[in-house]
Amino acid sequence: MKLSTKGRYGVAAMYELALHYGEGPISLKSIAANQGISEHYLEQLICTLRNAGYVTSVRGAQGGYVLSKDPAVITVGDIITTMEGPIALVDCLLTEADRNSYCEKAGACVTRGVWAKVCDSINSVLDSISLADLCREEKN
């Protein structure tokens, strides 16, 4: 299991924005340079974040991107979910309805319990860490 660059770059970019929260817009170019990411590629990713309402763009010279919300209320889980879709290790865990329903397939149903536990554990870690937490860590 690997995390794709979508998720990693997404969190990296958001972290960069969080570091400069309140200092006006940060350009794509500086984020990309700082994190060593292709500018054009990052553009696509940050577009997803914008559509999800986590960042706001400022066009024109001296423009860039700004967090739409306070770093304390954006979690790593929010970002990962936006970039990679819901953390559902298997399809039958995608919706709440699925989780409560009974699986037809004999053995599959038993193993499903395992995947559910893993998903819950991943989510609880990701949701417990905010961008503000990351920034705080940097200072130490």
Q: Which residues lie near a copy of itself (CB under 8 A)? A: 1-3, 8, 11-12, 15-16, 19, 34-36, 76, 80, 84, 87-90, 105-108, 110-111, 113-115, 117-118, 121-122, 124-126, 129, 134, 137-138
* Residue 83 CA: distances (Å) to CA of 4, 52, 58, 79, 118: 9, 10, 21, 6, 20
Of 59 and 86, which CB lies nearer to a copy of itself in the complex structure?
Answer: 86
Q: Tokens 């969080």, residue? A: 18
Q: Which of 50, 81, 90, 127 binds DNA (CB under 7 A)?
A: 50
Contact residues for 11 (Cβ-Cβ < 8 A; gap 6+): 76, 79, 80
Q: Which of the choices DNA, a copy of itself, none does residue 89 contact, using the CB cut-off of 5 to 8 A by kind?
A: a copy of itself
Q: What is the 3-state secondary structure (H, E, C) of 91-111?
A: HHHCCHHHHHCCCCCHHHHHH
Q: Which residues bind DNA (CB under 7 A)?
A: 4-6, 25-29, 37-38, 40-41, 43-44, 46-47, 50, 57-65, 84
